[in-house]
A and B are shown apart, each in its own frame.
Chain A
Amino acid sequence: MKNRQYWRTWARAICLIGCLLVKNGSYVTFAQDMANIEPLSPPAPPSQVVAKDAPNDTGTSLVVMWVLSPDDRDEFLPRRVIGYDILRKTSESGEYVSVGEQTYQKNRFTDTKCERGKAYWYQVVAIGPSGERSEGVATPTPTGPEPQWIDGSRLWFGFELSIVCAAVLYYIGRANKGDHFTIRHIPGLDAVDEAVGRATEMGRPCLFVPGIQDINDIQTVAGVTILSRVAGLTAQYDAPLEVPTSRSLVMTTARETVQASYLAAGRPDAYREDNIYYLTDEQFGYVAGVTGSMMREKPAACFYFGAFYAESLILAETGNSIGAIQVAGTAESSQLPFFVAACDYTLIGEEFFAASAYLSKQPAQLGSLKGQDFGKLCGAGLIAIGCLLATTISISEFPMIKTALDYLKNNVLGDGGLLP
């Protein structure tokens, strides 16, 4: 028995030595490998940490950038770096305080809590899976945020907007000086007179729905503009006009508009404030209220001008089922097919915005349409240039044309600013 134990002890000793020899003859290496299995060492730190002023802001932000830690790689699974801690101090002798974290594979952090006129030092630390922290790498020099007075990324947009506005103003000016502009025939708007006339003949009311958005939506403003014309006609023909609204502010605006139109038509006595009423802000509650009223009172003419969504078809089909003549106009392109299918006339997009000029026939208003046309021409020109450049590149890769196309896409039409 004793002999067997003796040999067993020797065999263990030889095995251990053999193992150590296989492991490059070093027990230290073996220990290191063990440590790798259960990582206790912090990850390698990031490098080249720099801080820069954040562009196009009020001088309250700095952007900190760094080169990722060599341990922050997608192929290391489980990850050796799970994020970065960004620390800041406001004086050279001060202490670093954490201002935020960034996830792995990200090398950029925007510190938006800076003050103008102050200098900041930054340090970035890589964080391991168990919270191990690498050595901190600091920015070489302090950096301070600077305000920008103009948002450079929006300069091209501002320029394009200015051209369109200038064209509108120029043509309004020319119209005021006596230039004559013609406008094409819009059947939908001509039908407004016919619809009100028919309602009068039938002795039934007219219904005007100004959409379901508030007065800060430009479509509602355009709708109320048309309402003033419709109200003028109903006052003239002595046909009752009903305007249910889904916003309180629209109700007050509509009341003012209709009252002024009745006054202008010389029929202030015929104005009924109670016919312009608020139902509810809730989309389908509003639709239920309006369609209920349509089924009971059977208006002979229904006008839908404003911003509409899913309720458009419910309104228009109900109007169709009661045999009303229906005219609609909206800039919601997704609702246009429903109005086209169910209404007698539909104003599509820009026609709706042109209604005010068309109905009033005022020279200044018509001039604005001419300015709009100029904007459209510029847009078409840009599309043509873009198509030409993109087609040329698809045929042959000219570096200059590629630069031009990139500039068009990223700067002229994007937010890249003036410089490429």
Chain B
Amino acid sequence: MKRTIPVLIASIAGLVLIIAHFVPPAQSWGDEVNTWFQILAAFAFFLGGGSLLKMHLKRISDQQEGWGFSAVTLLAFGITLIVGIFKLGVLPSETYPTKPWSGEYLGDGGALWWIYQYLFTPLNATMFALLAFFISSAAFRAFRAKNTEAMILLVTATIVLVGRTYAGAFLTEGFNPHWQLAAIIDEWFMSVFNTAGARAIKIGIALGVVSTSLKVLIGTDRSYLGSEE
């Protein structure tokens, strides 16, 4: 029973979405199912928040190694939550100037806006910027001419890397008065080989998605529920 009901719910929701795609009068049913998922996902935030609090409070109370980080996490969580919910420092919107809470959550000058602008944005950008460093160490390690395929990959990568900058134009200036040769070769690699490969992978993925979804819908694959039966 514990497994049958979730499978039944998954099957019904899936079928409704399929029918909604092909039958215009059933389109609103599909919207309804999607709305239900959003409601469920919103409730799940409580589960997630609860898990987060539990884990970090335990670390702090057990004085586990690095418990200070847990304290910082909980402090940041609490401050952001309170500031966001109570819209601290947010001015009322122009449409409803007499309603104190009518302003946007991220209204200019508000406390949440300040957190977003001066903490969240730089922290996020820093994490993303790490990619520049990781890509260099990964490229250094991965592009070794160990065999013919690796050699092709290496040469292609070098051409695309150079072709995507002014260096490509500068190096091929002599071949073409409009100095676009490197960009043209790069574009050709991307549009022909890369797109052909990407399309093949996408077709395979699409069929995999259809097959997996069908197995979930008919209940053949229940391993995501923790059961092989």
Which residue of the partner chain, among A248, A256, A348, A364, contacts B44 with CB atoms under 8 Å?
A248
**Neighbouring B residues of A59 by C-beta, 8 Å:** 25
Of residues 32 through 72 on chain B, the ones whose CB sits less than 8 Å from some CB of chain A are 37, 40-41, 44-49, 51-52, 54-55, 58, 65-66, 69
Question: 7 new A-B pairs (CB below 8 Å) besides A249-B44, A336-B201?
Answer: A151-B21, A222-B212, A279-B52, A353-B211, A362-B228, A375-B210, A379-B203
The answer to whether A317 and B138 have CB atoms under 8 Å apart is yes
For B131, B205, B214, the residue with the greatest tally of chain A CB atoms inside 10 Å of its CB is B205
The answer to whether B226 and A248 have CB atoms under 8 Å apart is no
**Neighbouring B residues of A259 by C-beta, 8 Å:** 226
A237 close to B (CB within 8 Å): no
**Neighbouring B residues of A222 by C-beta, 8 Å:** 212
User: How many residues on A have C-beta within 8 angstroms of the other chain's C-beta atoms?
Assistant: 82
A27 close to B (CB within 8 Å): no
A385 close to B (CB within 8 Å): no
Quote the shortest CB–CB distance from A134 to chain B (angstroms): 35
**Neighbouring B residues of A161 by C-beta, 8 Å:** 210
The answer to whether A149 and B137 have CB atoms under 8 Å apart is no
Which residue of the partner chain, among A280, A316, A353, A376, contacts B209 with CB atoms under 8 Å?
A353
Of residues 339 through 358 on chain A, the ones whose CB sits less than 8 Å from some CB of chain B are 340-342, 348-350, 352-354, 356
The answer to whether A57 and B24 have CB atoms under 8 Å apart is yes
- With both beta carbons as reference points, the residue of chain B lying nearest to A224 in the complex is identified as B224
A365 close to B (CB within 8 Å): yes
Residues of B within 8 A of A (CB): 21-25, 27-28, 37, 40-41, 44-49, 51-52, 54-55, 58, 65-66, 69, 123-124, 127-128, 130-131, 134-135, 137-139, 141-142, 198, 201-205, 207-216, 218, 220-221, 223-228
Fill in one digit per residue for A47-82: 1 if any B CB lies within 8 Å of its CB, else 0.
000000000111100000000000000000000000
**Neighbouring B residues of A348 by C-beta, 8 Å:** 201
The answer to whether A248 and B138 have CB atoms under 8 Å apart is no
Residues of A within 8 A of B (CB): 56-59, 147-151, 154, 158, 161, 164-165, 168-169, 172, 214, 216, 218, 221-222, 224-225, 228-229, 247-249, 251-253, 256-261, 264, 274, 277-282, 284, 287-288, 292, 296, 310, 313-314, 316-317, 320, 331, 333, 336, 338, 340-342, 348-350, 352-354, 356, 360, 362, 364-365, 368-369, 371-372, 375-376, 379
**Neighbouring A residues of B128 by C-beta, 8 Å:** 284, 310
In the bound complex, what is the Cα–Cα distance between A161 and B124 (angstroms)?
41
If A218-B213, A333-B198 touch, does A296 touch B66 (CB 8 Å cutoff)? yes
The answer to whether B209 and A154 have CB atoms under 8 Å apart is no
**Neighbouring A residues of B66 by C-beta, 8 Å:** 296
- With both beta carbons as reference points, the residue of chain A lying nearest to B44 in the complex is identified as A248
List of 7 A-B pairs having minimum Cβ-Cβ separation, nearest first: A260-B226, A353-B208, A248-B48, A248-B44, A284-B127, A350-B204, A341-B142
- With both beta carbons as reference points, the residue of chain B lying nearest to A262 in the complex is identified as B226
Which residue of the partner chain, among B65, B211, B224, contacts A368 with CB atoms under 8 Å?
B211
- With both beta carbons as reference points, the residue of chain A lying nearest to B197 in the complex is identified as A333
If A278-B47, A341-B138, A376-B207 touch, does A356 touch B52 (CB 8 Å cutoff)? no
The answer to whether A165 and B214 have CB atoms under 8 Å apart is yes
The answer to whether B22 and A372 have CB atoms under 8 Å apart is no
The answer to whether A149 and B24 have CB atoms under 8 Å apart is yes
- With both beta carbons as reference points, the residue of chain B lying nearest to A158 in the complex is identified as B22
**Neighbouring B residues of A313 by C-beta, 8 Å:** 131, 134-135, 138
The answer to whether B55 and A277 have CB atoms under 8 Å apart is yes
Which residue of the partner chain, among A274, A281, A349, A375, contacts B58 with CB atoms under 8 Å?
A274
The answer to whether A317 and B134 have CB atoms under 8 Å apart is yes
In the bound complex, what is the Cα–Cα distance between A242 and B119 (angstroms)?
29
**Neighbouring B residues of A260 by C-beta, 8 Å:** 225-227
Quote the shortest CB–CB distance from B149 to chain A (angstroms): 12
The answer to whether B224 and A149 have CB atoms under 8 Å apart is no
If A169-B214, A248-B45, A249-B44 touch, does A218 touch B55 (CB 8 Å cutoff)? no
Which residue of the partner chain, among A148, A338, A354, contacts B24 with CB atoms under 8 Å?
A148
In the bound complex, what is the Cα–Cα distance between A342 and B138 (angstroms)?
6
Which residue of the partner chain, among B138, B203, B214, B216, contacts A221 with CB atoms under 8 Å?
B216
If A260-B227, A372-B211 touch, does A314 touch B131 (CB 8 Å cutoff)? yes
- With both beta carbons as reference points, the residue of chain A lying nearest to B209 in the complex is identified as A218
The answer to whether A349 and B134 have CB atoms under 8 Å apart is no
In the bound complex, what is the Cα–Cα distance between A148 and B69 (angstroms)?
59
Which residue of the partner chain, among B48, B134, B223, contacts A225 with CB atoms under 8 Å?
B223
In the bound complex, what is the Cα–Cα distance between A56 and B227 (angstroms)?
41
In the bound complex, what is the Cα–Cα distance between A212 and B128 (angstroms)?
15
Quote the shortest CB–CB distance from A284 to chain B (angstroms): 4
In the bound complex, what is the Cα–Cα distance between A194 and B137 (angstroms)?
26
Which residue of the partner chain, among A221, A249, A256, contacts B41 with CB atoms under 8 Å?
A249
The answer to whether B22 and A150 have CB atoms under 8 Å apart is yes
If A172-B220, A216-B37, A353-B205 touch, does A278 touch B51 (CB 8 Å cutoff)? yes
In the bound complex, what is the Cα–Cα distance between A331 and B208 (angstroms)?
9
The answer to whether A368 and B220 have CB atoms under 8 Å apart is yes
The answer to whether A317 and B137 have CB atoms under 8 Å apart is yes
**Neighbouring A residues of B48 by C-beta, 8 Å:** 247-248, 251, 278, 281
The answer to whether A278 and B52 have CB atoms under 8 Å apart is yes
The answer to whether A248 and B51 have CB atoms under 8 Å apart is yes
If A164-B207, A225-B221, A317-B138 touch, does A288 touch B47 (CB 8 Å cutoff)? no
In the bound complex, what is the Cα–Cα distance between A232 and B129 (angstroms)?
37
Quote the shortest CB–CB distance from A45 to chain B (angstroms): 34
If A148-B24, A341-B138 touch, does A251 touch B51 (CB 8 Å cutoff)? yes
